[in-house]
Amino acid sequence: MNAKAFSLALFSILIWGSSFAAIRVSLQGGYDAGQNVLVRFFIASVLFLGYALWPGTKFRLPHKGDIVPILILGWLGISVYHICVTFGMESISAGTAGMLVGSGPIFTALIAFVFLKERLTGLGWIGLAIGFIGITLIAFGSAGASLTLSGGALLVLVAAFATSLFFVFQKPLFARYTAIELTAYFTWAGTLPFFIFSPGIFTAMQNATLEAHLSALYVGIFPAAIAYATWSTALSMENASSVSSLIYLEPAVAIVVAWMWLHELPTSLSLIGGVIAIGGVIIVNVLGRHRRRVSTRTADSTS
């Protein structure tokens, strides 16, 4: 991977990894989950609108035949993903959420196998099994001492599956649009459903702490907008499998930032599950595929 692509991709991973702790801070500081996600993506949408309207920017509108797929993918990759992650983080730690989202490439591999006929080797299937064992341990470990599946963990797993579908099915659109154009389309489409959370938003903004405001602003500008743009640029410059392999660092970043900022750590069972899950992801995506066609992270929506 060339140095510029590596730097852009690594920047995105560091920013995405930090977003889980920032979301947690906003939730603890006065915003409820719905208001939090609305504020973040309203900020991101305004940023992309400013880019699209900037003089000299050659920003194209989508073709009529692509509007419905873009809307569906935006709702799936932005709306479903971020609603499930944000509501899930009301009851699980930032590090646990990061580990569950980091296991998303396992779902991507399965979806690509079913819909794109992408073949897995025997080692790839073993990696999937190991990964699912890890996911199970993370999910059950999120409930603390009781070995039950917490609702928050289940929501984040739904988010990981939704974003995996998003990654697979947006692939054909990159032949017709630039990465930043697609990111803007998906962001605008995905933000629309968040307006159902608008009642009480101004009261929440008045009552929220300064740290909550700054955290929401940070996530709206950096993880929700800039990091997706830098990731898409890196993908356009380098082999997708090389760039997307860096996503394996995201759970580690999420855990370290949550520990430093919030002084919280996942449970021991979740940490063990995280190591196992990431090991499974690496086996599937590095050693277990005949040919890699689908990126595990594109110009989406995490956080």
The pLDDT value recorded for residue 267 is 80
What residues are paired with 289 via a beta bridge?
Answer: 120
The yes-or-no verdict on residue 277 having pLDDT over 80 is: no
Find residue 120's DSSP bridge partners: 289
pLDDT for res 72: 96
Predicted TM-score (pTM) of the model is 0.82
Higher confidence at residue 90 or residue 117? 90
Per mean pLDDT, which range of 122-136, 152-166, 189-203, 279-293 is the poorest? Answer: 279-293
Q: What is the pLDDT of residues 152-179, one digit of tens each?
A: 888 998 998 898 888 778 878 888 998 8
CA distances from 181 to 16, 68, 225, 233, 303 (A): 20, 16, 12, 11, 19
Q: Cβ distance 293 to 116 under 8 Å?
A: yes
pLDDT reading at 239 higher than 70: no
Looking at residue 243, what is its pLDDT? 62
More confident residue, 120 or 197: 197
* Cβ 293 vs Cβ 119: under 8 Å: no
